Amino acid sequence: MAEVIWGLATSHVPSIGAAMDRGKTEDPAWQALFDGYAPARAWLAEHRPDVAVLVYNDHANGIDLDFIPTFGLGTAERYEVADEGYGRRPVPDVLGHPELSFHLVESLVDEGFDLTVFQELAVDHGFTVPLSVWTPDPGDAWPCPVIPLLVNVIQYPQPTAARCYALGQALGRAIRSFPGDLTVGVLGTGGMSHQLAGTRAGFINPDFDAMWMEAVEKDPARLAALSREELIRQAGSEGIELIMWLVMRGALDEQVTKVHSDYFVPASNTAAGIALFDNRAPEA
């Protein structure tokens, strides 16, 4: 039986990847952000899973805006890094795990989640930046195969927080029902509060972010009860990405151990957060 051993929530701001790619992580504007990643990176380096599932949204780079599925899952053996218009990031392509992917598709469809299945998919910064937050120097390959799980957060109507939390719970059951002896890490990405356009462009809400950071650990059902409109009001139009953290949290056990968290403002025009949870039962 497969086991979810940890969950990682992290922002996927493209400029975070650019700062890493251009050697700017120790610049005064960036150093505090990357210092805040260090404890999580050290712990993750010692707890490498066999496979990871990464919950993210595409930004019209791998998927055309004419076709935005509510939920999608990749089943490919390999995912190329997308060129987002200024050359692809200098990071490795991503190896998939088709066997676990097909099991997840079947299990989630049987639970009522009608997924779009991607046999080919290019992955953009929404996918590669979280991998870099986890592993800043991957060399020729990321630490393990990674399965993309896509969520629509860019076109109305986005799925509700409750639906995303339920998807995460179903994902956890699906992983645990896989017959192979695998350890699995789950990443939820996006956020935190930010709005990039309109009259509230530049909006950040640290108080809401602090509430979210605490509740995602201790009371995720509270967050799942938030409406789409309330999330956008409190976190900004792009802050609705936080629903992807709930997919990750739903895949974990009810009780988790927080390993590390950190919060940084601003990364570009975004509040950036990281939260790492150990999903294994504490030792007696």
Instruction: For 138-158, give the DSSP string.
Output: -TTS-SS-EEEEEE--SSSSP
Place of tokens 């949204």: 57
| Amino acid present at 16 | I
Question: The domain containing residue 261 runs over which residues?
Answer: 3-203+216-273
Closest residue by Cα to residue 186 from 78, 88, 47, 75: 47
147 within some domain:
yes
Q: Which two tokens stand for residue 165?
A: 């939390």
| Amino acid present at 206 | P
Report how far residue 186's alpha carbon sits from residue 171's, in angstroms, rounded to the nearest whole number: 10
102 within some domain:
yes
| Amino acid present at 132 | S
Report how far residue 241's alpha carbon sits from residue 165's, in angstroms, rounded to the nearest whole number: 13
Report how far residue 158's alpha carbon sits from residue 223's, in angstroms, rounded to the nearest whole number: 16
Pairing of strands 270-278, 257-267: antiparallel
- Which residue among the candidates 12, 103, 194, 260 is catalytic per the annotation? 194
280 within some domain:
no
**Number of residues that make up the chain:** 284
Q: Which two tokens stand for residue 93?
A: 């392509």
- Can you give the pLDDT of all 284 residues of the chain as single tens digits? 899 999 999 999 999 999 999 999 999 999 999 999 999 999 999 999 999 999 999 999 999 999 899 999 999 999 999 999 989 999 999 999 999 999 999 999 999 999 999 999 999 999 999 999 999 999 999 999 999 999 999 999 999 999 999 999 999 999 999 998 999 999 999 999 999 999 999 999 999 999 999 999 999 999 999 999 999 999 999 999 999 999 999 999 999 999 999 999 988 889 999 999 999 977 65
59 is catalytic: no
Report how far residue 10's alpha carbon sits from residue 187's, in angstroms, rounded to the nearest whole number: 8
151 within some domain:
yes
- Of all helices (H) and strands (E), which one includes residue 184? strand 183-189
CATH code, domain with 242: 3.40.830.10
157 within some domain:
yes
CA-based radius of gyration for the chain: 17
**Residue 9 DSSP SS3:** strand
Q: What is the pLDDT of residue 283?
A: 66
Report how far residue 275's alpha carbon sits from residue 226's, in angstroms, rounded to the nearest whole number: 20
Report how far residue 198's alpha carbon sits from residue 202's, in angstroms, rounded to the nearest whole number: 9
Query: Which backbone phi and psi does 181 adopt, to 5 degrees?
Result: -90, 85
Report how far residue 264's alpha carbon sits from residue 266's, in angstroms, rounded to the nearest whole number: 6
125 is catalytic: yes
User: What is the total count of domains within the chain?
Assistant: 1
